[in-house]
Amino acid sequence: MQEAIEKADTLIEAMGWIRRFRDSITVIKLGGSVMEDADALRHLLVDIVFMETVGMRPIVVHGGGAAISRAMAEAKLEPNFIQGRRYTDQATLDIVCRVLAGDVNEMIAQRIEEFGGRAMPLNPNGETDNNVLFGEKLTLAGEDGTEVDLGFVGQVTDVDRDTLDNLCYAGQVPVIPSVCKTKDGQLLNVNADTAAMAVAQAMGAEKLIFLSDVNGVRLNKDDPESLIHTLTADSAKELIQRGVIESGMIPKVEACLETLSKGVQKIHIIDGRLRHSLLLEIYTNRGIGTEIVSEI
């Protein structure tokens, strides 16, 4: 009996948070690295089903960098990253469309349904055109100021908000792969952190949560104890310049900074491998991981 009473107490404790976030949109970016861990993925997807069940409106944007690199290795292709973006020629794009926009996208949606939720895979490449991300070719400036060619790599310029709103309203979790379509119908490979940023901005999300395989931004990337709980925009820029924030963390933090300036209220980078990390982030006062803020 005591155990049942404690469970009921926990439910009542959660009530304030549930009311606070009811009807609010949370964009959740699932990184490829955390999806490699089957247990972690299962717990995250169950948390997402819980969020939807209590009236929040989660939207999933996912990457799948590790799965793409594996498929490239099988095809004897060597991945090449320029400023954190994968150089994408036609053969690589075919793999991105098949693996990320196809297999990974379908798998996430299917598993959400297995756990009792409803999900809509938004594969722009499928038989039914479910595309919600529109964009253009991304051009980057190299160190010498000249343009760097990344091949079929894009940036999102427009998001189909109506479709996403309707899905959320109908209790379905939109599952969006990081691929966009140009006006001419060309598919482009998009860094998943920047895709999540674009969705959060367009939807006026209350929260944007990046789920990764580290506990947040660290002063020493190999030391979990050096976690930075609150990172301001100025210090984030400085840490990127000093090389403390590097590799895959750069697009993530840059996406956070850009999102901050566009009105998303809360942005967190958290460890998706920690059991119930999503619920802990939402239903506890302090939250976990690193919160990115404009200033303290």
Ligand X SMILES: Nc1ncnc2c1ncn2[C@@H]1O[C@H](COP(=O)(O)OP(=O)(O)O)[C@@H](O)[C@H]1O
Ligand Y SMILES: CC(=O)N[C@@H](CCC(=O)OP(=O)(O)O)C(=O)O
Among 10, 139, 230, 247, binds ligand X (CB under 6 A): 247
Binding mask 141-170 for ligand Y (x = CB under 6 A): ------------x-----------------
**Cα–Cα distance measured from residue 135 to residue 128, given in angstroms and rounded to the nearest whole number:** 19
Quick check: 167 and 109 in contact, CB under 8 A?
A: no
Among 51, 132, 217, 274, binds ligand X (CB under 6 A): 217
The sign of the torsion formed by the CA atoms of 288, 292, 294, 296 equals positive
**Cα–Cα distance measured from residue 66 to residue 58, given in angstroms and rounded to the nearest whole number:** 24
Quick check: 208 and 259 in contact, CB under 8 A?
A: yes
Q: Name the residue nearer to ligand X (CB basis): 249 or 278.
A: 249
SS3 of residue 242 by DSSP: coil
Size of the site for ligand X (CB under 6 A): 18
Binding mask 29-68 for ligand Y (x = CB under 6 A): --xxx-----------------------------xxx--x
The sign of the torsion formed by the CA atoms of 204, 261, 193, 55 equals negative
Collect all residues with Cβ–Cβ distance below 8 Å to 99 and sequence separation of at least 6: 64, 67, 68, 71
Collect all residues with Cβ–Cβ distance below 8 Å to 2 and sequence separation of at least 6: none
Is 214 a binder of ligand X (CB under 6 A)? yes
From ligand Y, ligand X, none, which one binds at residue 213 (CB under 5 to 8 Å depending on kind)? ligand X
Q: Name the residue nearer to ligand X (CB basis): 157 or 247.
A: 247
Binding stretches for ligand Y (CB under 6 A): 31-33, 63-65, 68, 85-86, 96, 100, 153, 178, 189-192, 248
Contact residues toward ligand X (CB under 6 A) are 31-34, 63, 65, 212-214, 217-218, 221, 244-249
Residue list, annotated binding site for substrate:
64-65, 86, 189
